[in-house]
Structure 1
Amino acid sequence: MTRTVQITFDCADPGRLAEFWADALGYRLDDPPAGFDSWDAALDAFGVPESERNNASAVHDPDGVGPRLYFQRVPEPKQAKNRLHLDVRAAPGHEGEQRMAALEAEAERLVARGASRLQRHEPSPPMGLGHIIMADPEGNEFCLD
């Protein structure tokens, strides 16, 4: 029996991180529940106070292929290197300088949206195609691969 996967991020600002990852992956923010024009209208109806409206957010692949990403507010900051990270496939089918140029362009785009560039790994044939290590706006490491 197969299962679907949701990836959950503990974070300080779920709304901001959800918007970053939606942009990075071409995902969409989850729609409000049926019968509501907006999340604010739904949260008003549910009696959620303003101070708790950024406790969670989620994004999904509009094509229904990739996993849903869920962002939940936690009180503690990130402490150490991730034990698990995402590889964002930003240059599939490319090799050599063409691949690295595509990765550099995506790194530049994401830095403009709040990411940090951490390290570039040059191609090292036959196995290493090259990649760039990045961090999202809250410091979660990911690779542009």
Structure 2
Amino acid sequence: MALNWKLVVDTRNAPVLADFWAAALGYEPEDQTAFIDRLLADGHLTEDAVTEHDGRRLFRGLAAIRHPDDPFDPATGIGLGRRILFQDVPEPKTVKNRLHIDVHAAPGTTDDLASRLESLGATRVREVDQGPAGRWWVMQDPEGNEFCVA
């Protein structure tokens, strides 16, 4: 039996953080515009539950990205494979993540990848060098969530 899952990330600005991670990982922002328009037209949703970002309609406080090679439901735009959902929460991040993403670079390009992620809004926190066991950067996304680049 296949196990279906998605990673959910609490955020202060779901569309902006989704844009960062889509660019960082080469994922695509989900476009649920047609689905939301149908729900609005049928009276199942009100305009105050919706926002717009980069020409797409989104459920207010939510934005998702999906791997470009994975299937998605054409009726809803929702990814059916590797997917990250960003949801707004009222409180800011206050402590170190208990779960984080490792982004892997091609051999010999870790610093180049870290620089590219900085250009998207990430921050380098520290370099970890464990000799033969590996070298990587601990970084933070624009909202301060830690991740590693190896």
Regarding TM over 0.5, the answer is yes
Q: Give the superposed CA RMSD.
A: 2.2
Structure 2 gaps, min length 5: 52-59, 72-80
Work out whether 1:131 is the aligned partner of 2:136: yes
Aligned 1:1-145 pairs, distance under 5 A: 1-32=1-32, 36=34, 41=37, 45=41, 46-49=45-48, 53=51, 54-64=60-70, 67-91=82-106, 94=107, 99=108, 102-125=109-132, 128-145=133-150
SS of the residue 2:126 aligns to: strand
Hey, which bits of structure 1, 4+ residues long, moved more than 6 A?
A: none
Q: 1:129 to 1:3 in 2, by over 3 A?
A: same
**What is the CA–CA distance in structure 1 between the aligned matches of 2:135 and 2:3, rounded to whole Å?**
31
Question: TM (normalized to structure 2)?
Answer: 0.77
Structure 1 gaps, min length 5: none
Q: Compare the two structures and name the one with the higher strand fraction.
A: 2
Quote how far apart the aligned CAs of 1:4 are. 1.9
**What is the CA–CA distance in structure 2 between the aligned matches of 1:44 and 1:104, rounded to whole Å?**
46
Instruction: Indicate if the aligned counterparts of 1:78 and 1:139 stay in contact, CA closer than 8 A.
Output: yes
The count of corresponding residues between Structure 1 and Structure 2 is 130
SS of the residue 2:131 aligns to: coil
Quote how far apart the aligned CAs of 1:123 are. 4.8
**What is the CA–CA distance in structure 2 between the aligned matches of 1:42 and 1:108, rounded to whole Å?**
41
Q: 1:20 to 1:47 in 2, by over 3 A?
A: same
